[in-house]
Amino acid sequence: MNDNVIMRVVARWAMPLILLFAFYTQVHGETGPGGGFQAGVMIAAAFVLYGLVFGGNEMRRIVPRRLTDITAVLGVLVYAGTGVYALATGYNFLDHVALMPGNRSAAEAWGMTAVEYGVGITVASVMLTLFNEITEGTNPGQEPDTVAPDAQERLWG
């Protein structure tokens, strides 16, 4: 779809807006609808849009497979890490008051924020991984933007 000017322009303009709204949802997860899951899916949707219009190779130039592999696990590490930190400092597992032992309300807010970031990072990475693994290899050894000539007919035919 790279030869279509409208697609290129719209994707280039839409992607930062989608990412901005995704970050807004992530940060304001506690004060409005949203949170980690929704923000992660939207971040992945922005990159999927880019990958659809400009090709999988181009998208993987920006977000390599190694990066999504690492950040997928990093998110769960952040989440479980806050729990284990609470355990290590003498509180219950995932008892967020351990982050600021005197001030329960602020500690809970900080704990929720950290945990939601973990969820968001993991969900975004895994959605991108799913997109990468499902859409690559339409023919053995080929990338989606050099897809087999009959795939267009098979889809739109």
Binding site for another protein (CB under 8 A): 25, 29-35, 37-38, 41-42, 44-45, 48, 52, 65, 69, 72-73, 75-76, 79-80, 83, 93-94, 96, 103-106, 108-109, 111-112, 115-116, 118-119, 122-123, 125-127, 129-131, 133-138, 140-141, 147, 151, 154-157
Q: Single out the residue of 50, 47, 43, 46 nearest to residue 22, CA to CA.
A: 43
Q: How far is the CB of 140 from another protein (least distance, A)?
A: 4
> Which of 90, 105 has the CB closer to another protein?
105
Q: How far is the CB of 9 from another protein (least distance, A)?
A: 21
Q: How far is the CB of 74 from another protein (least distance, A)?
A: 10
Contact 44, 128 (CB under 8 A): yes
> Which of 8, 151 has the CB closer to another protein?
151
> Which of 8, 143 has the CB closer to another protein?
143
Convert 70-111 into a string of H (helix), E (strand) and C (coil): HHHHHHHHHHHHHHHHHHHCCCCCCCHHHHCCCCHHHHHHHH
How far apart, in Å, are the Cα atoms of 3 and each of 7, 150, 154?
8, 19, 21
Q: How far is the CB of 90 from another protein (least distance, A)?
A: 18
Q: Show the tokens assigned to 70.
A: 């690492």
> Which of 15, 52 has the CB closer to another protein?
52
Q: How far is the CB of 79 from another protein (least distance, A)?
A: 5
**Within 10 Å of residue 122's Cβ, how many Cβ atoms?**
22
Contact 1, 48 (CB under 8 A): no
